[in-house]
Structure 1
């Protein structure tokens, strides 16, 4: 910085004001300093700057599964909003593992991030203690965590699944299989509750043998679907609680010699780019990904700027049922497995 000051014939304080935006500088002086910076090739020391200003202009972002298109899309939106606000993003993935989650949150805190945006892997006492000790601005996305009272952007999961299940019931299906995500997560529990609520509204019993846990994973969902399809009385329709699991569902239907929707109707939580490229085109619940990312980023920016109210804000968004070709009215005579 001293070399820049000498080259521009100004004080070090004036150079600092231009680089850090800490004080007004005349256009003529700013132009001279910027030219000197270009000539000398000066690059500011981010670590030194963060120590001086008490901020790294970095937000830690942790998602549950980076291979899931829902999370990658949300990450892209959050990064775009924060970049325009002058913040960088440090990204981690907990891979649906609470142990890894705790390690990564501590890593982000050690890197002196200014705030955190988290999609938690599940209820986690250690995470609660870490966040309480760090006392950083925090926003939860997609999932809530018992005992963590902070800003959040989530979907009305129960209502979305209840509507999708009601749609399948309206097509005459009475044995609807359900491939659930992990019940250690709020999304897993809420979506299953929506399925149960739709059955109750239709005055149908909840049958445990129609529910299998797929853990939000393709392979687990494949095994769970095989169990359903080889049962004594197989379901005529299957709902998958996320987009990765529906891939496992469709593979199982194909491998066992059945067809969708001729033999088994299928619907899934999460819309994704290839849902209308699948054959048949998949009926899905679309999440407002753009709104989730934008509002999560804005919540953390408001906290960082001191604009947020003392009481945490919880934004609950609505999903949209995208009816395509993978569900049809029930067949009265189900085809036997070859």
Structure 2
């Protein structure tokens, strides 16, 4: 900065005022300083400026699966929101590993991020301790964490699955297979609750043999579907609790020599770009990805703007059932159930 000041024939304080925006500099001096910066090729030392100003204009973001289209899209929305606000985003992928998550959050805090957005994995005890000790605001994304007192943005997963299963029941399906992810995270627990409540509302039994668990990956959906289709009284429809697993479901149906929806109907949670390109086109529960990402960013930006003492806010957004042609009717519709399908 000293060389810039000498070249522009001004004080170091004047150069600092222009670069950091801490005081008004006349147009004439501003032009001289900017020309000197170009001539010298001066670049600000971001680390030194951060230490001086007490802020890095950087946000930490952790997600469990960057290859999952839902998280890919949410990350893109969050990135754009903070870019408009003048912040950089440091992204970490935990791959659903608790130790990795905790290490990454500590790393982000060591890098002096100004705030965190976390789609948490595993037990919340360590995350609670980290959040309680952190001196920066934290927003939880997609997944709640009991005991962590902070802003949260989620989907109403229970209602979304209730509507989807009710739709299948309305089509006449009575044996509906369900492929769930791990109960370690709140959305899977809520989605399972929605599945059970839809069956109970229609007077149908909840049969444990129709429920299979995976770990969110394609291979899990494939193996779970094979198990369901090997039952003596196999289901007439299968619902997958996330989109990577439904790809495995469709492959399993093909490999076993069956056809969707002629032999078995399929629906899943999370819409994704190629869901309407599949043959058949997949019926899905679409999450409001843009709203989820923007709300998470807005909550954190509000805290960063100084609103630190307001009570924690929890936003639960609504999903939308996208009805396509991967599910076929088996019998007379149940009008009362049909009315509960989300538009």
Q: TM-score range by the shorter chain?
A: over 0.9
- Residue 250 of structure 1 corresponds to 250
Q: Distance in 2 between matches of 1:122 and 1:194?
A: 21
**1:94 equivalent in structure 2:** 94
Q: Deviations over 1:55-96 (max 9, x none)?
A: 111000000101101001100110111011110000001101
Q: Does 1:184 align with 2:184?
A: yes
* Whole-angstrom CA distance in 2 between matches of 1:161 and 1:308: 35
Secondary structure at the aligned position of 2:191 is classed as helix
Distance in structure 2 (CA, Å) of the matches to 1:331 and 1:249 = 24
1:14-47 Cα offsets, whole Å, 9 max, x none, are: 1111111111222222222111111110001111
CA contact (8 A) 1:122 1:186 kept: no
**What pairs with 1:160-175 in structure 2 (closer than 5 Å)?**
160-175=160-175
Work out the CA distance in 2 between the residues paired with 1:328 and 1:92.
Answer: 41
Contact 1:96 1:121 in 2 (8 A): yes
Question: What secondary structure, in the 3-state scheme, does the structure 2 residue paired with 1:33 have?
Answer: helix
Which residue number corresponds to residue 336 of structure 1? none
1:72 lines up with 2:47 in the alignment = no
The equivalent residue for 1:134 is 134
Where 1:73 maps in the other structure, the secondary structure is helix
Conservation of the 8 A alpha-carbon contact between 2:261 and 2:327: yes
Residue 235 of structure 2 corresponds to: 235
SS in 2 for 1:16: helix
Q: Distance in 1 between matches of 2:7 and 2:127?
A: 51
Distance in 2 (CA, whole Å) between partners of 1:304 and 1:242 is: 33
C-alpha distance in structure 2 between counterparts of 1:22 and 1:103, whole Å:
36
**Matches of 1:246 and 1:36 in 2, distance apart?**
59
In 2, Cα distance between the equivalents of 1:309 and 1:196?
Answer: 39
Deviation at 1:331, TM superposition (A): 7.6
Could you tell me which residue of structure 2 aligns to residue 322 of structure 1?
A: 322
1:222/1:251 contact within 8 Å kept: yes
Question: 1:121 & 1:3 partners in 2: Cα distance?
Answer: 49
Please state how far the C-alpha of 1:135 moved relative to its aligned partner: 3.1
1:268 alignment partner in structure 2: 268
TM-score normalized by the length of structure 1: 0.96
Alignment of 1:24-39 (within 5 A): 24-39=24-39
Q: For the residues of structure 2 that align with 1:207 and 1:136, how far apart are their CA atoms?
A: 46
CA contact (8 A) 1:58 1:114 kept: yes
Distance 1:288 1:226 in 2: 31
Cα distance in 1 for partners of 2:113, 2:268 equals 36
Contact 2:171 2:331 in 1 (8 A): no
Structure 2 counterpart SS, 1:47: helix
Distance 2:166 2:224 in 1: 22
Question: Contact 1:281–1:326 (CA<8 Å) still a contact in 2?
Answer: yes
- TM-score norm. by structure 2 comes to 0.95
Correspondences of 1:18-167 after superposition (within 5 Å): 18-167=18-167
Aligned length: 332
Distance across 2 between alignment mates of 1:321 and 1:149: 31
Distance 1:307 1:34 in 2: 35
**Unaligned runs of at least 5 residues, structure 1:** 333-338
Per-residue Cα deviation, 1:242-274 (whole angstroms, up to 9, x for no partner): 111111111111111111100110001000000
**1:203 equivalent in structure 2:** 203
